[in-house]
Amino acid sequence: MADKGVAVARRRAVAVGAVLGSCALLVASVAPAAAHGTGAGHGTDAGHGTTAGHGRGGGHGGHGPGRAHRPRYVALGDSYTSGPAIPPQVDPGCARSGANYPSLVARRKNASAFEDVSCGGATTEQMWTAQGANAPQLRALKRDTDLVTLQIGGNDIGFGSIIATCAGLGAQAPAGDPCRSHYTSSGTDRLTVAIARTAPKIDRVLRAVHARSPHARVLVVGYPDLLPDDGSGCFPAVPFAAGDFPYLRDTEKRLNAMLRRAAVRNHAEYVDTYGPTLGHDMCKAPEDRWIEPLVPASPAAPAHPNAKGEQAMANAVLDRLR
């Protein structure tokens, strides 16, 4: 039975490597299944996001007691923001869902204007540079934008390649910690170094956001809980080695801690999505998980939030806005 489990894990690792070998491949893998939903920009400019003004409810946002404020909202980010494979897919080029957390927040806050330019595979560089046919994300910001959410950094540290590498190594030595050994073989943890090198990139993005939208409330959104917080594993369903589950958990926590510090340094607010998603990681049963495993059972990209996960992140953003 153990040999059978390892064989299954190896097959999954091969499949995951094909999907997550790069973030660009991740986007390509979900784009063909995308549905033509409503409210998306299908032109050559990703800045043609959705415009909301018909959502339910509204927040007060500090604009006077009893008066609902309808923000002019821009969402920036990567695939955790865009919601690949979650229906309806409103922009196949960026694997963007009309049910991702920015769309849910915009409807709940009854945004007077809403542009979601998040794009699967985005790094901090895509804030300034085009991503395929999609314009630089910062181009969506205006001087009258008054709410910005930013979720970025995972691809800067190599999210896709880390998942594929650890899945492949885990299938070969499921009882050990081959992924940790791989990334620390030089005596320095390369993922910790990658996070440190990403910090000034986040600083630069936040300075640019403030420059373009000087009156905006800026929220840096962290990443949700991907793996069991107690360090336990679920091989072969998620084919990481036993010792690599706590290593990858701690790596994500370091990434989120860096994002929190960057928010404080740059006069932004941090939204914790890790705490609110505890107990709903990719190792949980299908009915309980908000993050899909490497072979998703619900519409989502591998190792990404499903619709429940996007709703949980929306709730975290809305709680912060309140």
pLDDT one-digit tens code per residue, 7-41: 555 555 544 544 443 344 344 333 333 333 333 33
At 310 the pLDDT is 99
What pLDDT, in 10s, does the model give residues 245-265? 999 999 999 999 999 999 999
What pLDDT, in 10s, does the model give residues 276-295? 999 999 999 999 999 999 99
89 has a pLDDT exceeding 50 = yes
At 30 the pLDDT is 38
Q: 60-93 in b/e burial notation, b at 16+ Cβ within 10 A?
A: ebeeeeeeebbbbbbbbbbbbbbbbbbebbbbbb
Cβ count within 10 A of residue 6: 18
Tokens of 198: 């990403």
Q: Residue 17 domain-assigned?
A: no
Q: Residue 68 domain-assigned?
A: yes
pLDDT band at 59; cut points 50, 70, 90: very low
- Are the beta carbons of 160 and 20 closer than 8 angstroms? yes
Report the chain's terminal Cα–Cα distance, integer Å. 51
Q: Residue 163 domain-assigned?
A: no
Q: Residue 161 domain-assigned?
A: no
304 labelled catalytic:
yes
Q: Residue 176 domain-assigned?
A: no
Q: Residue 73 domain-assigned?
A: yes
Q: 16-55 in b/e burial notation, b at 16+ Cβ within 10 A?
A: bbebbebbeebbebbbeebeebebbbeeeebbbbbebeeb
Report the percent of the chain where pLDDT is more than 70: 79
Q: Cis omega before residue 236 (within 30°)? A: yes
Q: Which of 5-14, 69-78, 99-108 has the lowest mean pLDDT?
A: 5-14
> How many whole angstroms separate alpha carbon 132 and alpha carbon 134?
5
Domain count, the chain: 1
Q: pTM, whole model, 2 decimals?
A: 0.84
Q: Residue 145 domain-assigned?
A: yes
232 labelled catalytic:
no
Q: What is the CATH number of the domain that holds 214?
A: 3.40.50.1110
Mean pLDDT of 78-89: 98
At 11 the pLDDT is 53
Marked catalytic residue, from 29, 82, 280, 304: 304
> How many whole angstroms separate alpha carbon 72 and alpha carbon 175?
51
Strands across the sheet containing 72-77: 113-116, 72-77, 147-151, 217-221, 269-271
At 69 the pLDDT is 83
> How many whole angstroms separate alpha carbon 27 and alpha carbon 119?
9
162 has a pLDDT exceeding 80 = yes
Report the percent of the chain where pLDDT is more than 90: 78
Q: Residue 4 domain-assigned?
A: no
61 has a pLDDT exceeding 60 = no
Containing structural domain, residue 119: 36-156+188-236+246-321
Marked catalytic residue, from 79, 97, 103, 118: 79
